[in-house]
Amino acid sequence: MAPLTCATRHATCALPAGSEAGLEVACASCGLDPLCNVLDYAGEQSGVPDGLLLRRRPVARGETLFHYGDPFHSVFAVKQGSVKTYIPRPDRAAQLVGFHLPGELIGAGAMAGESYPYTARALENSRVCEIRLGLLPESGRPLQQIQRAVIELLGREVAFNNELIAALVHQSAEQRVAGFLISLSERLQRRGMPCAEFNLSMSRSDIGNYLGLASETVSRILTRFSKADLIDVRHKRVQLRHPETLAGIAE
Amino acid sequence: MAPLTCATRHATCALPAGSEAGLEVACASCGLDPLCNVLDYAGEQSGVPDGLLLRRRPVARGETLFHYGDPFHSVFAVKQGSVKTYIPRPDRAAQLVGFHLPGELIGAGAMAGESYPYTARALENSRVCEIRLGLLPESGRPLQQIQRAVIELLGREVAFNNELIAALVHQSAEQRVAGFLISLSERLQRRGMPCAEFNLSMSRSDIGNYLGLASETVSRILTRFSKADLIDVRHKRVQLRHPETLAGIAE
DNA sequence: CGGTAGTTTGAACAAGGTCAATTGAGGTGG
DNA sequence: CCACCTCAATTGACCTTGTTCAAACTACCG
């Protein structure tokens, strides 16, 4: 078997201009990297099924990675573009769970259970890496490292969610939107992507749904920030002019 | 070394009347049970340090199990009574993170990190079991099972938090309070505790803080529910009269 | 060049927060 | 045992915030 390489260790390749969104995250900055490295190692020890790693798979805007309730098989990482996750609800609007930027994981919450607790859908033409954890053998030494990595990932997820809860529950609409922009910017920065100016690939309703606000409120606050010269919004393009002030608003 | 027994496999022992709150959860119903069982096994294989399990440790009302930022050493489970976790914040009121009922874990979110992300304080005179995971050797076969159990626990935590976020962000004050009561009741039931009538060991402000509401709003809604004969509130005692209707309100 | 869906903006309204006064419970000391 | 103190809980009045409903506007796409 050919030695496996990390799912995301590849330079950007040429693609039809305009068909894909933004830059690609470097492997070293990707949240999947620890797992990728472990699997590299596992590969050389053999015992890891082939086809375990699917790298830089293109996903068209609107396409889904998996649906709510599907049996768990893979953890995904966004390589390029963006993905939203949501819980479809009968006779109600879907509940938005999260937005996933380059370098971020999708489906981590399902690793412990049998099925995905939400649907994942691409917000734009994107690329994702996929690790088919479902194919992993249940024994052998590498498993320990894999488990360790999974624990690490889940722990981060828990911490992030705890912060999010604290934030969402107690903040005003203005604070939430400011915090949302700052969060996006910081997450892009962490992955080495341009973070002062970026795309709001999700709709205002998606943002509102995520933050627990009406889309009109989101819109109003964005223009308010814009008039205060804190940001510059044009269509889906946002530029942060005074991130410090925004961060101050978000507290 | 004497064989270790599960941290929580013990009958209730006699105690000064009135000094402790409520019944004790059975070990089989405890969230720590999977870990306890694994460690039992580990003990017989040797290699597990002594003093790893501290069982049914009494904790006085107001006493803390650990503080925000303390280095991680143990996972706790409430055996009897209740505990709240919160993030202390400079020049602001603390942010309540969660309430922990008998059978529930505390500090699971810290297992992946180095330090506790919140402070844990007993709401009443309670008893907790403690597993000093920090003392675990980093190798040996049982580690795999321990890791598996940890992943399981973290996964549940993530799932619970996702639901919580969805709930808190989109629900009205009335829905939140109804959902809070139902959640308490269901969690008590899951652990085999009386669930139709129970103690609200936390203050109205704690509830409000947790749900993102003013304490006055919590109070108003409780009396509203009481007048509608959905519940009976007297001091800290609550009786659910029409759980189904409440569940309907919470949606 | 329309058509459609997302976005912006305005005005009326409702939910919940804030402030303040009152009541009630538990604890302490005389 | 009771008076008193303190703090939590309740209740009322008012006001801010954000939602809802509706209409105009804009980008995007055939």
Same-domain check for residues B95 and B31: yes
The answer on pLDDT for A15 being more than 50 is no
Query: At which of B162, B181, B215 does a domain end?
Result: B162
Tens of pLDDT, residues B43-73: 444 444 556 677 788 999 999 999 999 999 9
H helix or E strand, kind and range, residue B204: helix B204-211
Q: Is the CB of A233 under 7 A from strand C?
A: yes
Tokens of A248: 């101050």
In a domain, A9, yes or no: no
CA gap A183, A191 in Å, rounded: 13
CA–CA gap between residue A190 and residue B29 (Å, rounded)? 42
Residue B12 in domain: no
- Bridge partners (DSSP) of residue A239 are A197, A232
In a domain, B6, yes or no: no
For residue A58, give how far its alpha carbon lies from the nearest alpha carbon of chain B (Å): 27
Q: Do A147 and A197 reside in the same domain of the chain?
A: no
- Run of H or E including B205: helix B204-211
Number of domains within chain B? 2
B106 lies in the same domain as B212:
no
Length A174 CA → C9 C1' (Å): 18
| Dihedral over Cα of A83, A87, A90, A93: its sign | negative
- Candidates B72, B165, B176, B177, partner chain A, best to mutate (most A CBs within 10 A): B165
Same-domain status, B152 and B188: no
Residue B223 and residue B126 in one domain = no
Cβ atoms A35, A201 nearer than 8 A: no
Looking at the domain assignment, is residue B19 inside a domain?
Answer: no
Q: Which residues of A touch B (CB under 8 A)?
A: 87, 95, 97, 108-113, 117-118, 143-144, 147-148, 150-152, 154-159, 161-162, 164-166, 168-170, 210-212
Q: What share of chain A is helix, strand, coil (3-state, %, to 5)?
A: 40, 20, 40
Q: How far is the CA of B152 from the C1' of D15 (A)?
A: 48
- The reply to whether A14 falls in a domain is no
B180 and B143 in a common domain: no
CATH at residue A198 = 1.10.10.10
Average pLDDT of chain B, as a whole number: 82
Mean pLDDT of A179-206: 95
Closest-CA residue in chain B for A149? B112
Query: For residue A78, what are the domain limits?
Result: 27-167
Residue A104's domain is classified under what CATH number?
Answer: 2.60.120.10
- Contacts with B169 from chain A: Cβ below 8 Å: 168, 210-212
The verdict on B173 and B64 lying in the same domain is: no
Chain A contact set for B168 (CB, 8 A):
165, 168-169, 212
Instruction: Tell me, yes or no, whether A8 lies in a domain.
Output: no
* Pair B66, B147 in one domain: yes
Asked which of B162, B184, B207 is the last residue of a domain, the reply is: B162
Closest nucleotide (C1' vs CA) to A212 is D18
Residue A5 lies inside a defined structural domain of this protein: no
Residue with tokens 């597990």: B48
**Is residue A220's beta carbon less than 7 angstroms from any atom in nucleic acid strand C?**
yes
Write the DSSP symbol of residue B77: E
Per-residue pLDDT tens over the stretch B92-120: 888 999 999 999 999 887 887 889 999 99
B138 CB contacts (<8 Å, ≥6 apart)? none
pLDDT in the model for residue B137: 53
Residues A161 and A176 in one domain: no
Which string of b and e fits A224-246 if b means at least 16 CB within 10 Å? ebbeeebbeeeeeebebeebebb
Q: Reply yes or no on whether the pLDDT at B247 is more than 70.
A: yes
Average pLDDT over residues B75-85: 93
CA-angle at B212, arms to B206 and B217, nearest 5°: 75
A144 and A246, same domain (yes or no):
no
Q: State the nearest residue by CA to the C1' of C17.
A: B214
Per-residue pLDDT tens digits for A50-99: 566 777 889 999 999 999 999 999 999 999 999 999 999 887 888 999 99
* More confident position, B155 or A40: B155
Chain A closest CA to B111's CA: distance in Å? 7
| Residue that finishes a domain, picked among A148, A167, A186 | A167
**Bases of chain D within 7 A of a CB of the protein:** 8-13, 17-22, 27-28
Q: CA of B176 vs C1' of C29, distance in Å? A: 43
- Side-chain-side CA neighbours of A247 within 13 Å: the count stands at 9
A42: DSSP letter: H
pLDDT in tens, A108-164: 878 877 899 999 999 999 999 998 876 665 544 567 777 888 888 888 888 888 888
B118, B162, B180, B207: best mutation site toward chain A, by most A Cβ within 10 Å? B162
Question: Is residue A106 domain-shared with residue A210, that is, in the same domain?
Answer: no
Question: What's the pLDDT score for residue B51?
Answer: 60
- What is the nearest nucleotide to A223, using C1' and CA? C8
What is the sign, positive or negative, of the torsion defined by CA atoms of B61, B67, B70, B76?
positive
Chain B residues in contact with chain A using a Cβ-Cβ cutoff of 8 Å = 87, 95, 97, 108-113, 117-118, 143-144, 147-148, 150-152, 154-159, 161-162, 164-166, 168-170, 210-212
Q: Same domain, yes or no, for A138 and A239?
A: no
- Asked whether residue B2 is assigned to any structural domain, the reply reads no
Nearest-CA neighbor of B35 among B10, B17, B52? Answer: B52
